[in-house]
């Protein structure tokens, strides 16, 4: 669980940290920093959408039908909130407004639908949810690493949607059954967020090494670093987070 928190926080921060440079890459969108900044809102906004949907999906007071309705409403509402907010531009002391054409966001909208379906499948199974979402993020980052153009760009941006339930599910699975050692385990998990300070420099170093080796699209390929982090999270969700019975756990009260 400590390793899972370490790589999760590190990968999430790393993907967002280098996203502007990724979007400016000539093989991706080759856009100026000002335009790329607008798209960055969709990555971090995707975390907001995903976490709200995750909170609804894990509710124990709502039946499946109501969960689906509320999640659909939140998805649509949050998407258009981000969509309209990103159209505001107040640079140079003037207020201008220009939104992106909706057809350019088709990939992102599709990933919101995938997020919705994943949450409905995972429901009250935190380990399964972590595994499913990790595999989807790996797919997004692989397309970003080896693809090009709008497809590569929006797949990486959309990866933020699937970080929704990671923190809460990793944390709850990790401290489950610790009994008297719950506080110590929680402290170690909190300390593991240092991954957010260590994984991004690792990705930057990999990009530099690839670039110095004259490997084409070295910055794109550096996204294999966070992809490897999510590979461990897929393992953690599928195999490492098996439920322990009280009899199997020597640390229980």
pLDDT for res 93: 59
Global model pTM greater than 0.75: yes
**Residue 193, C-beta contacts closer than 8 angstroms, at least 6 positions apart:** 5, 6, 9
**Could you list the pLDDT tens digit for every one of the 253 residues in the chain?**
999 999 999 999 999 999 988 998 888 988 887 778 888 888 988 888 888 887 887 777 878 888 888 888 988 898 888 888 887 766 655 656 677 777 888 999 999 999 888 888 876 678 888 999 999 999 999 999 999 999 999 999 999 999 878 888 898 888 888 888 999 999 999 999 999 999 999 999 999 998 888 787 888 999 999 999 999 999 999 875 455 434 444 444 4
- The SS3 of residue 177 is coil
Distance CA 53, CA 106 (A): 20
pLDDT for res 244: 42
For 34-154, strand residue ranges (E) read 88-89, 96-97
Partnered with residue 209 across adjacent β-strands are none
CA proximity to 52, closest of 66, 64, 41, 67:
67
pLDDT for res 84: 86
Do the beta carbons of residue 137 and residue 162 sit within 8 Å?
yes
Please state, as a whole number, how many other Cβ atoms lie within 10 Å of the Cβ of residue 67.
Answer: 19
Distance CA 31, CA 41 (A): 15
Do the beta carbons of residue 53 and residue 79 sit within 8 Å?
no
Rg over alpha carbons for the chain, rounded to the nearest Å, is: 19
């Amino acid at each position: 669980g400590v390793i899972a928190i370490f790589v999760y926080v590190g990968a999430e921060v790393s993907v967002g940290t280098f996203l502007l440079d990724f979007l400016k890459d000539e093989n991706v969108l080759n856009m100026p920093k000002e335009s790329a900044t607008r798209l960055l809102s969709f990555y971090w906004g995707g975390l907001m959408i995903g976490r709200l949907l995750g909170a609804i999906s894990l509710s124990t007071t709502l039946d499946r039908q109501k969960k689906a309705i509320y999640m659909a409403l939140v998805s649509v509402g949050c998407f258009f909130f981000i969509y309209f907010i990103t159209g505001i531009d107040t640079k140079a002391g003037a207020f201008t407004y220009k939104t992106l054409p909706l057809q350019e966001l088709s990939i992102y909208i599709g990933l919101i639908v995938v997020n919705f379906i994943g949450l409905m499948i995972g429901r009250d199974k935190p380990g399964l949810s972590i595994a499913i979402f990790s595999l989807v993020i790996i797919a997004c980052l692989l397309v970003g690493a080896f693809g090009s153009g709008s497809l590569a760009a929006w797949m990486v941006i959309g990866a933020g949607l699937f970080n929704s339930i990671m923190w809460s599910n990793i944390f709850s699975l990790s401290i489950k059954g610790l009994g008297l050692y719950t506080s110590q385990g929680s402290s170690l998990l909190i300390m593991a967020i240092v991954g957010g300070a260590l994984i991004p420099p690792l990705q930057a170093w990999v990009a530099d090494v690839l670039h110095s080796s004259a490997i084409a699209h070295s910055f794109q390929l550096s996204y294999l670093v966070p992809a490897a982090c999510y590979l461990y999270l897929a393992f953690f969700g599928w195999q490492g987070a098996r439920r322990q019975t009280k009899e199997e756990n020597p640390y229980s009260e």
